Amino acid sequence: MKSILSIARSIEGRLDEAECRLLLATAASAAAASGPLPIVEVGSYCGRSTVILAGAARAVCPTLRIFAIDPHQGSLSHPKGELIVPPTLERFLHNIEWAGVADRVDLIQKKSFEVKWDLPVALLFIDGLHDYENVRRDFLHFQSFVVPGGLVAFDDNDGETYPGVVRCVGEAISSGGYEQIASAGRLVVLRKGTEDATAPIPEAEWREIAIRRQRAIELLRDELLSEIADSADALPEPAFEILKVEASGKAAGTISGSIDIPAEHTTISSRDFTVAGWVLGHPGVVAHVEIRSEGELVSRVPVCESRPDVALAFPAKPNAAQCGFRFAIDLSRMSVACLEVWAIPVTGHPRLLGTIRARRRTEPPA
């Protein structure tokens, strides 16, 4: 089955790769936290973002619906003014049908402010016209329906081309009602404040959330793995087989984290072998993650990748939104690899997060 991101990539639109990935993680996080509460999209164009939102919803919460609001009259923002393109309704309908998500999208062919809205919202994605008046009007029209802890994502948060978006985002944050939890390219994600992020959640509800969160984690992992597999297909490199990925568990002490990529029993066909995950210190900050092999340093990266899913899981942790790490390791000269993943805190001793054992496959991949 094609990944959501590869389907979205083939639909006309302006969200780039990193923005698509963040939007997918954001929708998965919102769906995990808020379950069947709807996602509202202002500005669908040909459906690139709609497919990402609906794909995440389908994977994480089967009853969640996407309300895709767009007049489809072909009026777009452009740094130099308005850009008129052919109407987009037909292309939008064709694309969501082709992507297999039409059954969970409710099209509202109106301008945002013409919509009479009265439902709670898990995620509000604003990508209509990008001048200050329009962005602010879109935001104000829906923001009071966003549930505490719910998310608001703005596209084109770029001061040079669209200062109105930056101003509106800044005002939302300085109002004290929202905090920024992630950004990639021109996409920025805010979270609405909760009255008490540490308030206990009833057990039955918590179990539901845990199931949806697990689905969200699996979705993100599958998407990352299929992207890696896609890029590997193009390279005639020998494959590696991932034999074991072992977390060091309790030995990690005051540092918690996870190695999300690679997954056990998968094969990697590229020279660049991706290792990705997240790490959090209690209470200190983990600045870097290192990969070592037989005591030698192989690579070191900063802990700074956006992880809205972890931020959602640990709302009280200030660094959770940017606690991800990602390596591209060159295994071309190794036949067997035993890689140790170490968390390097700002103060205190390095801690082993886990180990990865990989072996070069002798036969060509099937």
Q: What residues make contact with ligand SAM under the rule CB under 6 A?
A: 13-15, 42-46, 48-49, 69-73, 75-76, 88, 111-112, 127-129
Cα 62 to Cα 104: distance, rounded to the nearest angstrom: 9
- To the nearest whole angstrom, how small is the minimum distance from the Cβ of residue 22 to ligand SAM? 12
The encoded tokens of residue 311 equal 């931020």
Residue 280 amino acid letter? L
Whole-angstrom CA distances from 170 to 154, 184, 312 are 11, 16, 21
In the bound complex, what is the minimum distance in angstroms from residue 130's beta carbon to ligand SAM?
Answer: 7
Dist CA 68 CA 106 (whole Å): 6
> If you write DSSP's letter for every residue of 308-342 in order, what string do you get?
HHHHHH-TT-TTGGG-EEEEEEE-TT-SEEEEEEE
H/E run at residue 198: none
Residue 182 CB, nearest approach to ligand SAM (Å): 17
Q: How far is the CB of 13 from ligand SAM (least distance, A)?
A: 3
CB closer to ligand SAM, 70 vs 290: 70
For ligand SAM, give the closer residue by CB, 114 or 205.
114
**Closest distance to ligand SAM from the beta carbon of 103 (Å):** 20
C-beta of 19 vs 340, nearer to ligand SAM: 19
Q: Answer for the pair 270, 231: CB distance below 8 angstroms, yes or no.
A: yes
**Residues, the chain, total?**
366
C-beta of 127 vs 340, nearer to ligand SAM: 127
Supply the minimum distance, in Å, between the C-beta of residue 232 and ligand SAM: 27
Minimum distance from residue 80 beta carbon to ligand SAM (Å): 15
Closer residue to ligand SAM (CB): 43 or 238: 43
Q: Where are the beta strands (DSSP E) in the chain?
A: 39-42, 66-69, 75-78, 81-84, 105-108, 121-126, 146-154, 178-184, 187-192, 240-247, 255-261, 267-268, 272-281, 286-293, 296-302, 324-330, 336-345, 351-360
For ligand SAM, the closer of residues 13 and 150 by Cβ is: 13
Q: Would strands 324-330 and 272-281 be described as parallel, antiparallel, or unpaired? A: antiparallel
Beta carbons of 112 and 92 less than 8 angstroms apart: no
Specify the residue, 113 or 314, whose C-beta has the smaller distance to ligand SAM. Answer: 113
Question: Residue 118, SS3?
Answer: coil
